[in-house]
Amino acid sequence: MTPLSGGHPTVPVLLNLADAPVREENREAVLQRLADTAARLPGVESAGCVLTAADGAVVQSAASDDLGRRLTSIQVELGEGPALDTCRIAKPLANVPMGHPHTRTRWPRFAAQAVTAGVTAVTVLPLRYADRILGALNLYHGRGAQPPVDVATGQLLADAAAIGLAHRAMLDDLRSREKELRTALDSRVIIEQAKGLLAERLNCTVDDAFDLLRHHARSRQIKLADVARAVVHDPTDGPFPAPRP
């Protein structure tokens, strides 16, 4: 594991979070690295993070250990907690005491479970990219005589991870679009081949051949490209068989 220098993230640590697409890492790997690294900040006993969809629903999570996993999962299951609030308001919550009356009123069920687990305070930092909130990083503080977490340092980690997550999503989207375009092009090519073959086979125009292909596909509720492939690859037993000699 890449070390932290004096409790602060070094350049390699930040780059490891931000350059996930270069290493072909998925978002699960980025979240896990973020949780593991954040748990080693001074004042942090455990860490967890969540990734949210556009509607605010949690779609993925990771944690540094069982404590972080349990407390992060509790927030998702209960639908309450500092991580969910941070995703909604897009602002960090720093060193929030779990035993404070206001906290117990704000997140009654989560606060009770956190205190039972030995957590005295929670810091939550948004995973932000440009004007979007991608999720949140939870830093759980225990009963030991630990200094308050450096929010600016934790936010550096969260921001670096957000860059990696956003670029990973962009790359996946580009690849998906490329695949769709390639499929569409392949379909167009096979349809053009089928039109030419069918026009020659039936001694009709290319437009009439296309109408025959389209009518056959619609009447049987199958894809036009599939009909075209049958014409091209199975000229004897396809939908429009060639005349036998």
Give the model confidence (pLDDT) of 127-175 as tens digits.
999 888 999 999 999 865 455 667 888 898 999 999 888 877 676 677 7
Averaged pLDDT for residues 94-99? 91
**Nearest by Cα to 227 from 198, 203, 200, 199:** 198
C-alpha dihedral sign at 126, 124, 1, 53: negative
Across 29-89, the runs of DSSP E, i.e. the strands, are 46-52, 58-63
User: What is the pTM (predicted TM-score) of this model?
Assistant: 0.68
* pLDDT tens digits, 187-207: 888 998 988 888 888 888 988
